[in-house]
Amino acid sequence: MLDTDFRKKYPADLELGQELDDTARVWKVYRDEAIQHDDGMLQAWNNTINILLTFSGLFSAAVTAFVVESYQFLQSSSVVRDSASDPLAVRAAIRSFSTSKSQPSSAAPSAHPSSPALIINGLWFTSLFLSLAAAFLCILIKQWLDEYTVRTRASSQNPKHWSRRRAFYFRALDDWGVAGIISALPLLLHAALFLFFAGMVVLLWSLSKALAAWLSGMGGLLLLLYGTSLCLPIWNDACPFATPLLKQLGRSWVLFCTWLFDGIAAVTMYAWVQWCYSVLLQVRSMYSRLTGTSTP
């Protein structure tokens, strides 16, 4: 039944020797299979990018709410406003970092921000930057994928011309590492999330060591689960925790090992040739001394 449907959809070439002509059956089969493959690949990539864009937008908004309050403490203490009427509790929490408990209330304000304030702002600003960078790259990659679709789906002279054009652009996707770039995008958001958690731990450490320890424990557990989910698929191919990033890392690891082994082999071969040459020179020198003849 399947064979009959295939023959109806793709009639055989009329004559022998026409199997690779411009309108041959093989190019029509390739075109349909390539379109089906590209549709699945592009849909998966676009779904991943859409999820990353959504998370990046929500996460950036959350981090911005903290950064708006924390950046003020990078300035002189004299510019800090009274926050008695401010409903945001984080303002009072961060202000406690900029005021030393050991100083009396009548002491002059410090002209420099405190070290915890610098650390918190450094972590949170870096987190915000990584989140926005991930969103920017997602938008840029969506444009790449749209352009790939336009190039490959454009009308062509014949099925053979379409197949060659599609193979050219598809090979370029692999040569330029587009799949690897898309797979690495979540790493930016992962790093941004952990940096934000680190800033929260620093913020809480001087306010309540118990809360800071509790948050550190939860963050450490999350980091442990994250690392475990990355490592398990390496040891077990059937593990369902595999991600496209692991596949790209595996390919990169294979390429690195190949380059490393080739380099070691080349260095070893060079050292062996040098040793053989030195042994040959010693043998010739000994032969010359024994025979009393000189060698060039």
Look at residue 221 and tell me if it is in a domain.
no
pLDDT at residue 165 tops 60: yes
Question: 206-253: per-residue pLDDT in tens?
Answer: 788 888 899 889 989 998 998 888 788 777 777 787 777 777 676 677
Q: Could you say which of 207, 223, 257 is where a domain stops?
A: 207
More confident: 17 or 89: 17
Separation of alpha carbons 175 and 155, rounded Å: 25
Proportion of the chain above pLDDT 70, given as a percent: 78
DSSP labels, 240-269: TT--HHHHHHHHHHHHHHHHHHHHHHHHHH
CA 241 to chain centre: 17
Average pLDDT over residues 81-105: 47
144, 28: one domain: yes
Average pLDDT over residues 144-169: 92
pLDDT at residue 203 tops 60: yes
Look at residue 127 and tell me if it is in a domain.
yes
36, 90: one domain: yes
Q: Could you say which of 153, 184, 207 is where a domain stops?
A: 207
263, 160: one domain: no
Look at residue 217 and tell me if it is in a domain.
no
pLDDT at residue 105 tops 70: no
Q: Give the up-direction half-sphere exposure of residue 9: CA atoms within 13 A in the CB hemisphere.
A: 14
Token match 């690779």: residue? 20
More confident: 8 or 204: 204
Range of the domain at 267: 244-296
Look at residue 214 and tell me if it is in a domain.
no
DSSP labels, 3-34: HHHHHHHSPPPSSTT-TTSTT-HHHHHHHHHH
113, 249: one domain: no
Question: 116-141: per-residue pLDDT in tens?
Answer: 788 889 999 999 999 999 999 999 99
State residue 198's pLDDT score.
92
More confident: 13 or 199: 199
Look at residue 225 and tell me if it is in a domain.
no
Average pLDDT, the chain: 81
* Count: domains in the chain: 2
Q: Could you say which of 162, 192, 207 is where a domain stops?
A: 207
Separation of alpha carbons 38 and 149, rounded Å: 9
